[in-house]
Structure 1
């Protein structure tokens, strides 16, 4: 968190309920010129707090920050089984750019695909 707060290409947001951290989001950029237009986005919300719009608010704030700071592309990845998140991302203009097959193995011993998504910002791009 500390390094993100000192870097103009990164953003770290916390969701706090009753002084308890219940979620966070992060945008990680690069100082390399060829990657300066893009950030990697990630979000996490405690399961007990799913369904309250916390992830949506973190995503909205992250998109606003990226757009205001000249970021042209936000990239992310989601487990294929996280359909609610994938649908949320699509409502905000993210498109599926690819699938990483059998990319993750979970505690059930099964392999799962990772969905790679991106959102391109231009002046005509609108979101929810």
Structure 2
């Protein structure tokens, strides 16, 4: 999920996550996983708010603007 800079802080990410969680209730999914840049602290907090837990970190996985960034792996069991 990516929210354009000018629309951040308006609750759009929160609304999308609520929709996702409602949608998963109608499925047979048992678990959902995601990855996020370690530098994206607001997203990590949002995902944690919805019950996602950090399951691992891939060190220096991506190069962003000339600097290496860790990839945080998060997951949530639904059932």
TM-score (norm 2): 0.95
Partner of residue 58, structure 2:
100
Partner of residue 81, structure 1:
39
Whole-Å separation in 2 of the counterparts to 1:59 and 1:104 = 25
Runs of at least 5 residues in structure 2 that lack an aligned partner in the other structure: none
Q: Structure 1 or 2: larger helix share?
A: 2
Whole-Å separation in 2 of the counterparts to 1:103 and 1:46 = 23
Runs of at least 5 residues in structure 1 that lack an aligned partner in the other structure: 1-42, 123-128
Are 1:113 and 2:70 matched, yes or no?
A: yes
The higher-RCO structure (CA 8 Å, 6+ apart) is 2
Question: Aligned pairs, how many?
Answer: 79
Whole-Å separation in 1 of the counterparts to 2:34 and 2:60 = 17
Alignment deviations for residues 4-57 of structure 1 (CA, whole Å, 9 cap, x no partner): xxxxxxxxxxxxxxxxxxxxxxxxxxxxxxxxxxxxxxx111110000000111
Which aligned segments of 4 or more residues in structure 1 are displaced greater than 3 angstroms?
Answer: none
RMSD between superposed Cα atoms in Å: 0.8
Are 1:51 and 2:12 matched, yes or no?
A: no
